[in-house]
Amino acid sequence: MPSLGADMQEGTLIEWNVKPGDRIQRGDIIGIVRTEKADIEVEVYHEGVVEQLLAKAGETLPVGAVLAVIREEGEGAPAAAPVALAITPPAVGRLRASPLARREAQQLGIDLAQIQGSGPHGEITEADVHRAAETAKKAPVEKPAAPPELRAGIRRAIAAAMARSNREIPHYYLETKIDLSLALKFLEAENQKRSVKDRILSVVLLIKAVARALRDVPELNAYWVEDQLQRKEAVHIGFAISLRDGGLVVPAIMDADRKNLDELMQALRDLITRARAGRLRSSEITDATVTITNLGDLGVETVHGVIYPPQVALVGFGRIVESPWAENGMLGIRPIVSATLAGDHRATDGHRGAQFLTTLNQHLQEPEKL
Amino acid sequence: MSEPEVRSAVFRILRKIAPEADPDRIRPDDNLREALDIDSFDFLNVMIGLNEELHVEIPESDYGKLRTLNDLTRYLAEHVSA
């Protein structure tokens, strides 16, 4: 039973899609697991033959328990193969459906957003999809808000992760104000060259600048595990996506430092769309090496975030505000954003944190190089 | 295209972006982003939807003029018929 983050303790196997003897390929969905937050499609990362199914449908198992044994190609003896997951997270207020229902809806051409679920926590079931297919020509049903049970489950999961963070991580906080005049001017010029659908959001510049700054200060792109700092080579930026009714998912933009701005915008668009449709993959949930929280859209000026363990840093951005700004003895009005760093004091000190924010600022003053 | 027709198109797009929200309950002078709880990504999707449905390409520099439903429908009615 793989862990999908610090908040997951156990999961329940809903069903297997395979039986012993079946040949499987990398990427096959071999079963469905339910966690407190979501139903999960179990995606296998191995090629081979299913040797044994250890977990039974309906069985609840702790994280780390082996679900199945898969004999990989060319192996004499079978090995308990850890399975990777494709997660279907809760899409609060927008969509919640079982993987089976999703598949049926796709095949039948049914819009899940128009269905009211009858399953646990209001989940859309396969039967709901079939009923909807029969009455497809009727007026669409208004989507209700997420049921209280689901909201409570999500809050419990977030509470577990954040309580662990506050209990274990000695946070320190640093803040700096960054003049975005050059960055926004650059972006405006870039977007004028693009059609509406290809425009880049200002947050993409912030993400890229963070990714670059993490290459310069790699201690912040790391995990704290067993009292040791483990630097991560790849820069996978977890981007906090708020869902309606208070839910939150933090999927990762993989290799953010290696993507250009168009690629980053495409990745962000893809991630937000799939997060809200409930089609994130497990690696996107588990592999983030640092987190960005951008609350500028909500009018917040400064963010003091809580680090998501085992990460060691969280970068927060507030609203871009036109503010008085003195430079070279001149006072002017500039678009200013507040950038904050929440750092794990076990992993780094304020000195390195300050270097990170300085570097971040420098990258945003040279937007054409992002 | 008349303002009611434009408003109807705007509602269709808003329902896609925020299906749980009810655009019919929005007052003409409500701040759209606040009333529908839409972020900059959603707002960009509204702009893309309007572009695709009404063939109006709203420049970024005009985004600040489009705070309310009235702002948006008037702007679009002017530019669709132009």
- The interface pTM score, or ipTM, of the predicted complex is 0.86
How many A×B Cβ pairs under 8 Å? 42
- Single-letter code of the amino acid located at A21: G
Average pLDDT of the residues in A205-230: 97
Calculate how close chain B gets to A22, using CA atoms only, in Å.
41
Tell me how far apart the alpha carbons of residues A129 and A104 are, in angstroms, rounded to a whole number.
Answer: 7
Residues of B in contact with A145 (CB under 8 A): 20
Place B19 in a pLDDT band, splitting at 50, 70 and 90: confident
Calculate how close chain B gets to A9, using CA atoms only, in Å.
31
Q: Which CATH number fits domain B3-81: 1.10.20.140, 3.10.180.10, 1.10.1200.10, 1.10.540.10?
A: 1.10.1200.10
pTM metric for this prediction: 0.72
Tell me how far apart the alpha carbons of residues A260 and A262 are, in angstroms, rounded to a whole number.
Answer: 6
Q: Measured between CB atoms, does B31 come within 8 Å of chain A?
A: no
Contact B59 A192 (CB under 8 A): yes
Place A181 in a pLDDT band, splitting at 50, 70 and 90: very high
Q: Is A171-369 in CATH node 3.30.559.10?
A: yes
Secondary structure of residue A127 in the 3-state scheme: helix
Q: Can you give the residue ranges of every domain in chain A?
A: 10-88, 99-145, 171-369
Average pLDDT of the residues in A50-60: 87
Cα A332 vs. chain centroid, distance in angstroms? 38
Contact A191 B19 (CB under 8 A): no
Is pLDDT of A257 > 90? yes
Choose the closest CB to A188 out of B44, B48, B60. B60
Place A208 in a pLDDT band, splitting at 50, 70 and 90: very high
Per the structure block, which two tokens stand in for A89?
Answer: 């997270």
pLDDT at B38 (0 to 100): 86
Tell me how far apart the alpha carbons of residues B68 and B26 are, in angstroms, rounded to a whole number.
Answer: 9
Contact A201 B57 (CB under 8 A): no
**Looking at chain B, which residue has its C-alpha nearest residue A91?**
B20
- Which residue is associated with the tokens 């994280």? A63
pLDDT at A113 (0 to 100): 63
Please give the residue that has the higher pLDDT: either B74 or A284: B74
Calculate how close chain A gets to B39, using CA atoms only, in Å.
6
* Stretch among A135-139, A261-265, B75-79 having the lowest mean pLDDT: A135-139
Per-residue pLDDT tens digits for B36-56:
888 899 999 999 999 999 999
pLDDT at B1 (0 to 100): 75
Is pLDDT of A25 > 70? yes
**Residue A237 near residue A290 (C-beta atoms within 8 A):** yes
Place A95 in a pLDDT band, splitting at 50, 70 and 90: low
pLDDT at A39 (0 to 100): 65
Is pLDDT of A99 > 80? no
Please give the residue that has the higher pLDDT: either A243 or A238: A238
Residues of A in contact with B19 (CB under 8 A): 94, 113, 143
Q: Which CATH number fits domain A10-88: 2.40.50.100, 3.40.50.1000, 3.30.70.1350, 3.20.20.80?
A: 2.40.50.100
Calculate how close chain A gets to B2, using CA atoms only, in Å.
23
pLDDT at A247 (0 to 100): 72
Q: What CATH number belongs to A99-145?
A: 4.10.320
pLDDT over 70, % of chain A: 79
pLDDT at A89 (0 to 100): 36
Q: Can you give the residue ranges of every domain in chain B?
A: 3-81
CB crowding B20-59: b at 16 or more within 10 Å, else e: bbebeebeeeeebbebbebbebbbbbbbbbbeeebebebe
Among A191, A196, A317, which would you mutate to test the B interface (most chain B Cβ atoms within 10 Å of its Cβ)?
Answer: A196
pLDDT at A212 (0 to 100): 97
Q: How many CB atoms lie within 10 A of CB B5?
A: 14
Smallest Cα–Cα separation from A113: which of A127, A126, A95, A101? Answer: A95
Tell me how far apart the alpha carbons of residues A331 and A312 are, in angstroms, rounded to a whole number.
Answer: 37
Is pLDDT of A69 > 70? yes
pLDDT at A45 (0 to 100): 73
pLDDT at A121 (0 to 100): 59
pLDDT at A87 (0 to 100): 36
* Stretch among A96-100, A194-198, A204-208 having the lowest mean pLDDT: A96-100
pLDDT at A192 (0 to 100): 93
Per DSSP, what are the bridge partners of residue A311?
Answer: A223
Is pLDDT of B20 > 70? no
Is pLDDT of A204 > 50? yes
Smallest Cα–Cα separation from B11: which of B41, B29, B36, B44? Answer: B36
Average pLDDT of the residues in A15-40: 80
Please give the residue that has the higher pLDDT: either A319 or A144: A319
Per DSSP, what are the bridge partners of residue A15?
Answer: A32
